[in-house]
A and B are shown apart, each in its own frame.
Chain A
Amino acid sequence: MGGATARERKGSVGALAVLTIAGVLLGAALSLQAYREAQHPLPPVSSDILYFRGGAAVSRAALGFDALLADVYWIRAIQHFGGTKRASGGEKRYELLYPLLDLTTTLDPHFSVAYRFGAIFLSEPYPGGPGRTDLAIALLERGIAADPKRWQYAQDAGFVHYWWRQDYKSAAEWFDRASRIEGAPWWLRSMAATTLAEGGDRQSSRRLWQQLLDTTDDIWVRDNARLRLAQLKALDDLDALASLVGRYAQARGAPPRSWNELVAARWLAGIPADPSGSPYELRPDAPGGVALSDRSPLLPLPPQLTKQTGPTT
């Protein structure tokens, strides 16, 4: 009994010794690796690696795992877009964005978010995106070919024409096309008519985005609609503040140097902030003397709507 216990104890000690040796060896190997990497740095991994170009060939080689591969490429597309957008300094190159979206949708032709949000990514003007509305429309057209009953793609194509191209005739045609697809909501038809009649004033833009916000279940499409509505609100605020600053300058003989002057004079209740919470800034070089903060996530504002054409709220 005592002998067995001694043997067990000896065995435990032996195991502990082996474990210690393994730990020491592993630690030494890792230290050596760290030293080697300090002496001979690893080559940088290019984030622009595409892996494959032919979507159809990849789809065949995926052996039934094409949907999962599409997810991988979708995540790559998001990372490429977000990484490039956030990169500081230098020219922003979004050249892999469309090929990645193309691969994603070839591997999984029913990946609706890849079409819808891919179009949003592609339309975003430089430097926030590549500003390729032509590719956005092409992507959405591929979505319609894969899934002709998805009226949302036609609606999104209308939005691309409306918001980024200011081509209200084409936008109205796309909204009309969307309205004719089975299951499309009734208001798409009136949207087509409004777009054609009123073009791109802020009120009709607000109606369009609000309609999209109220009716979509897609988180990202909703977030995008919220951003556009916030931008429209900021444009109205900027107009109102510019008018206030102008009146103050007329009354006092000089424009205010800070918002505190307006607050102290009870012209404002507090420091005005945009819908994202970033304070507006007084800038003599900006139109109307008021601008969004450079840190505001609402930038860039849509240039076609910076001049007020509708009633101010």
Chain B
Amino acid sequence: MGRVIGLVAYHVFKESVRDKVLYNLVLFAVLMIGASYLIGQLTAGQDVKIIKDLGLAASSVFGLFIAVFIGVGLVWKEVDRRSVYNLLVKPLRRHEFIFGKFLGLALTLFVNIAVMAAALYAVLALMNWMNPGLGRAAIEAPVLDPQLLKAFALLYVQLLVVTSVALFFSTFSGPMLSAAFTFGLYIVGHFNADLAHFESVVKSAAAAWLGKALYYALPNLAPFDVKAAVVHGQPVSAAYVGLTAGYGLLYAGAMVALAILVFSRRDFK
């Protein structure tokens, strides 16, 4: 079973490489190098903070686009090309197919995030080497701060949640609608803390209960964002990272399970 899932995952990764998804890394590198030069001209003394902000935000945007636009096509493409019929007559069970697809995109995202993190550290190291005074100016956090890895780690788990949501929609909907739903949930995921305190703005107990229920049902994505805290050198405890990552992995697992459920019930005859 593990081997079959691994094969599906490997093919998803290979396909993303063939589709030139990793080209975004070149764009990221160009953006970072260009920005480090331009920002140095504009904002003496704040280059490090701005480059860190920009690197983390760009990783987040690129990762989000990959998770959504590839995620929504993972199942739909196979159905549209009718290759799913050939696949499912092979000794490949439907849950293996879905889980393999998820792991394949998770691998693609991991490679992306890892390379972007390495590129950000490389640009920071270069800036530090070219201007040794930066280390003293960056009083809030060291230039090459290992804490940045916490932000990248949580960003990765957040993208896994987004991928699982996209995959779920992909099992029963076309790419346009799936992308719209996933982006919608991504936006809602940054606001749903408001739902937790819905009772403070509505009088109806039923509405307050519904708000609470939605708060738990919808993905809560805001806690994954520790970018600002890390850049300002504020402590982000390992316990916080662990709890948030745990929530994300469990939520993604639940969405993949739902995707398997929907996909298992689809009739491809």
Cβ B225 vs Cβ A219 within 8 A: no
Cβ A113 vs Cβ B53 within 8 A: no
A91 within 8 A of partner (CB): no
Q: State how many angstroms separate the Cβ of A192 from the closest Cβ of chain B.
A: 23
Cβ B232 vs Cβ A218 within 8 A: no
Pick from A60, A67, A110, A220: contact of B45, CB under 8 Å? A220
Contacts of B44 in A (CB 8 A): 219-220
Residue of B nearest to A147 (CB): B232
Number of interface residues of A (CB under 8 A): 22
B60 within 8 A of partner (CB): yes
A244 within 8 A of partner (CB): no
B228 within 8 A of partner (CB): yes
Tell me, in angstroms, the Cα distance from A108 to B57 when the chains sit together: 14
Pick from B42, B139, B190: contact of A75, CB under 8 Å? B42
Cβ B137 vs Cβ A218 within 8 A: yes
Using an 8 Å CB-CB cutoff, how does the interface string of B152-167 with A read, 1 for contact, 0 for none? 0000000000000000
B197 within 8 A of partner (CB): no
Cβ A219 vs Cβ B190 within 8 A: no
Cβ A60 vs Cβ B50 within 8 A: no
Residue of B nearest to A220 (CB): B45
Contacts of A87 in B (CB 8 A): none
Using an 8 Å CB-CB cutoff, how does the interface string of B33-44 with A read, 1 for contact, 0 for none? 000000100111
Residue of A nearest to B58 (CB): A68
Q: State how many angstroms separate the Cβ of B131 from the closest Cβ of chain A.
A: 10
A66 within 8 A of partner (CB): yes
B54 within 8 A of partner (CB): yes
A124 within 8 A of partner (CB): no
A58 within 8 A of partner (CB): no
Cβ A67 vs Cβ B231 within 8 A: yes
Residue of B nearest to A117 (CB): B45
A63 within 8 A of partner (CB): yes
Cβ A219 vs Cβ B228 within 8 A: no
A182 within 8 A of partner (CB): no
Pick from A66, A75, A220: contact of B228, CB under 8 Å? A66
CB within 8 Å of B: which A56-71 residues: 60, 63-68, 70-71
A214 within 8 A of partner (CB): no
Contacts of B232 in A (CB 8 A): 110
Tell me, in angstroms, the Cα distance from A112 to B228 when the chains sit together: 13
Residue of B nearest to A107 (CB): B228
Contacts of A79 in B (CB 8 A): 42
B49 within 8 A of partner (CB): yes
B216 within 8 A of partner (CB): no
Residue of B nearest to A108 (CB): B228
A213 within 8 A of partner (CB): no
Cβ A110 vs Cβ B234 within 8 A: yes
Q: State how many angstroms separate the Cβ of B145 from the closest Cβ of chain A.
A: 15
Contacts of B129 in A (CB 8 A): none
Tell me, in angstroms, the Cα distance from A70 to B54 when the chains sit together: 11
Cβ A219 vs Cβ B45 within 8 A: yes
Cβ A68 vs Cβ B57 within 8 A: yes
Q: State how many angstroms separate the Cβ of A231 from the closest Cβ of chain B.
A: 20
Contacts of B246 in A (CB 8 A): none
Cβ A113 vs Cβ B190 within 8 A: no
Assuming the contacts A65-B57, A110-B234, asked whether A217 and B227 have C-beta atoms less than 8 A apart, the reply is no
Contacts of B53 in A (CB 8 A): 67-68, 70-71
CB within 8 Å of A: which B42-70 residues: 42-46, 49-50, 53-54, 57, 60
Cβ B228 vs Cβ A110 within 8 A: yes
CB within 8 Å of A: which B210-260 residues: 221-222, 225, 227-228, 231-232, 234
Contacts of B39 in A (CB 8 A): 75
Closest 5 CB pairs of A and B: A219-B45, A64-B225, A68-B57, A67-B228, A110-B232
Give residues in B with beta carbon < 8 Å to A. 39, 42-46, 49-50, 53-54, 57, 60, 133, 136-137, 139-140, 186-187, 190-191, 221-222, 225, 227-228, 231-232, 234
Q: Could you list some 28 contacts between A and B, CB below 8 A?
A: A60-B191, A64-B225, A65-B60, A66-B228, A67-B57, A67-B228, A68-B53, A68-B54, A71-B43, A71-B54, A74-B43, A75-B39, A75-B42, A78-B43, A108-B228, A110-B140, A110-B228, A112-B139, A113-B45, A113-B46, A113-B49, A217-B136, A217-B137, A218-B137, A219-B44, A219-B45, A219-B133, A219-B137
